[in-house]
Every structure is written in structure tokens, then in C-alpha cells.
């Protein structure tokens, strides 16, 4: 069995859907980190069967909206003195900016390059967002 030491101070991003850990790792720039990080993929999980998780021995700013958008089941644990001092349960964010792009060729975001792509959550159960400019529908599930 693989054993990764607990961290003294930092962040653990837990309950990541299997296969999503590497994407989050790269998005957060952890592949260029100068501090200890561990990406654990396909680990056993009592809750989900299998999961990915990331341990970061440092306090970094996390875009919780982005993490919640990628996987709303993620839990972010803040660690101090080897103990969890804060547990943040994520969910799909109400608004998403600059994470996904509108695919509608007639949308203002296609013509104007400097406009930030904005989507609003319209159905939390199904993970459906709509473009704030043209009402194009985007499904979180792909």
C-alpha cells in the first residue's frame, strides 16, 4: 500500500472525480511548484469507490468557483499543525467567468475578443449553465 505522509500546514483537495486530479494539478500550476505537492490518483474512497486527491504543503489561493465547476463534490481541507482546521464543501458556482467559452459563433464573445465569457447556473441538478450574453446553453457534464 502506498503511504503519503500527512502534511503539517497546507491544503488537501479531496474527493476529486477519478481522472480530474491531473487537470486540476496543471490548472493550479502545481507542476511548477517549488514546495511539496502530491497528486494521488485512483485512490480508494469509502464515499465514491475511487478518487483523486492533491496534497499541497503550502497555503495557496484557490479559485473555489473553478474547482466547484470542475467537480462539485470536491472537499477542500485546510491543514494547520497536521490537523484539519477548515473543511470547505464545494458546489456548482452560481456564475462562471473565464472558465468555459461560448461556442455560439453569433455571440458577442466570438466577435469581441476582450469580453470575459460569463455563464449563469440555471439548473443545479443537471449542471446546466447559459451564456449571459446570448443564452447559449452549456451542460457541465459535457
pLDDT digits (tens, 9 = 90+) for 85-101: 999 999 999 999 888 89
Edge to edge, the sheet with strand 118-123 lists: 95-97, 118-123, 128-131, 137-139
Residue 46 carries which DSSP code?
T
pLDDT tens digits for range 56-82: 999 999 989 889 988 899 999 999 999
Name the nearest CA neighbour of 116 among 125, 107, 106, 124.
Answer: 107
Residues 6+ apart with CB under 8 A from 32: none
pLDDT at 141 over 50: yes
Confidence (pLDDT) at 17: 93
Amino acid at each position: 500500500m502506498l503511504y503519503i505522509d500527512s502534511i503539517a500546514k497546507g491544503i488537501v483537495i479531496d474527493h476529486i472525480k477519478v481522472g480530474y486530479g491531473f487537470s486540476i494539478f496543471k490548472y493550479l500550476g502545481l507542476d511548477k511548484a517549488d514546495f511539496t505537492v502530491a497528486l494521488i490518483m485512483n485512490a480508494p474512497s469509502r464515499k465514491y469507490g475511487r478518487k483523486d486527491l492533491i496534497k499541497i504543503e503550502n497555503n495557496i489561493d484557490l479559485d473555489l468557483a473553478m474547482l466547484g465547476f470542475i467537480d462539485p463534490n470536491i472537499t477542500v481541507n485546510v491543514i494547520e499543525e497536521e490537523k484539519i482546521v477548515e473543511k470547505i464543501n464545494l458546489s456548482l458556482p452560481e456564475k462562471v467567468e473565464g472558465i468555459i467559452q461560448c461556442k455560439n459563433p453569433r455571440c458577442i464573445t466570438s466577435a469581441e475578443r476582450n469580453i470575459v465569457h460569463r455563464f449563469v447556473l440555471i439548473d443545479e441538478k443537471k449542471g446546466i449553465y447559459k451564456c449571459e450574453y446570448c443564452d447559449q446553453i452549456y451542460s457541465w457534464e459535457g
